[in-house]
Amino acid sequence: MNLTCQQLTLPNGLKVVLTPMPTESVTVSLLVRVGSRDETAKLNGISHFFEHMVFKGTKKWPTPMAVNRMIDSVGGVFNAMTSQEHTGFWVKIAKTHLPLALDFVNQTVFHSLLPQAELEKERGVILEEIKMFEDNPMRHVYDQFVSQVYSSTALGRPIIGLPENIKKMTRSHLVNHLQSWYQPQNMVLTVAGGLDRETEKLIGSVFADTGKDFNLKHGSVKLADKGGVKLVKKDIQQFHFCLGLTTFERIHPDRYVLGLLSLILGGNTSSRLWNEIREKRGLVYYIHAGIDSYFDTGYLVVRAGCDVNRAEEAIKITVGQLQKMTGKITDQELAEAKEYIKGHLALSLEDSQEVADLFGEDLLIEGKTKTIREIIAGVEAVTTKQVQALTKKLLADNQLHLTVVSPLADEAKFAKLVM
């Protein structure tokens, strides 16, 4: 199980990753190293706003309908996303239409018109998107957890922005955002799928005329990790909570250990939390443990929703299961977790979009790509003792954070469970 990718850098500084795959489709993905953590408090949400606006008309296709039709007319799909650390734009299309996909990404990202009339309409769309997230307790509690963990930093601000910011954003703000951050030296272009010998030349011709010098810096965060409880009272039926703690940066030597720790704890339907809380007790419909890592920090979090009358029980068991990860972990648990990761990796390698994201994000955030063999070797090298030791260290060095969205309002009662 391996893929060979070719890396090159265009004269304007744009990094390119080419990954041939035996598929009839091809994915073109342009990742830009700017996200919500790079924004000021007053312009929080601008990265996401800009991502919405690029499809509202370009020099070549001046209306939203014209933009949409270019990909719809050949049966392709396109979209964009914004995270704390990067913004991404992608097209997946039949490999015979690769020239169109490259042109589409170039036009929408570098030559968007950002029309004022569309900006006003999209402002309303984003404000409704904010309401939608707040009305979804599973999403809302997670957003509030991140806000709690990184409360004193830009990482704690919502990716989508606050309504008061969105209402004040102007076209000039978007143009300045484009000119400041959207430079080739701050980007990675990945093309994965059915490539041919002309792909490299084609990329050079499409993207050669873009860019100027880039000298902005990405600030790191300093945390005063005090842990604690954040309670958001909401008139809903369930008790939704996130329980977690801060970990470490994306390229930390223990990153594979942390991934396996999270998986054994609550990463799938064979995990300890799923078995103890859902299968044995029927306390929850959903419960899941996961990790998120940035270039300078990260966190481990358990997410769940339960009956309000059994909330204390669910939290106590979750805390207990995390603490038990410092004790015995069987060879079978670890072996099955490793096979799970390798199996999911194998499935993802069948999808050109997944492959483009895998190599593109590595190069953008870490400055280099990892081979599939390197990833598997990192996973295989982990021992049960390492998982136990890492759990002990994380619990010793960090305070637990508990975030709750529920109709209950007794913060002190839940604080006793995690302090």
Q: Which residues are annotated as catalytic?
A: 51
* Cα 296-137-268 angle, rounded to 5 deg: 65
Cβ neighbors of 332 (< 8 A, separation 6 or more) are none
**Can you tell me the distance from the alpha carbon of 69 to that of 79, in angstroms, rounded to the nearest whole number?**
14
12 residue type, one letter: N
Cβ neighbors of 123 (< 8 A, separation 6 or more) are 49, 166, 167, 169
**Can you tell me the distance from the alpha carbon of 278 to that of 166, in angstroms, rounded to the nearest whole number?**
40
The three-state secondary structure class of 321 is: helix
**Can you tell me the distance from the alpha carbon of 154 to that of 151, in angstroms, rounded to the nearest whole number?**
8
Distances (CA, A) of 7 to 205, 276, 345, 367: 17, 46, 21, 12
DSSP string, 336-399: HHHHHHHHHHHHHTT-HHHHHHHHHHIIIIISSPPPHHHHHHHHHT--HHHHHHHHHHHHHH--
**Can you tell me the distance from the alpha carbon of 116 to that of 407, in angstroms, rounded to the nearest whole number?**
41
The backbone region for 311, taken as left when phi is positive above 0, alpha when psi lies in -120 to 50, beta otherwise, is alpha
**H/E segment holding residue 302:** strand 298-307
Single out the residue of 86, 87, 126, 76 nearest to residue 109, CA to CA.
87
Burial class (CB in 10 A: 0-12, 13-18, 19+), 172: exposed
**Can you tell me the distance from the alpha carbon of 246 to that of 244, in angstroms, rounded to the nearest whole number?**
7
Q: Which residues pair with 347 in a beta bridge?
A: none
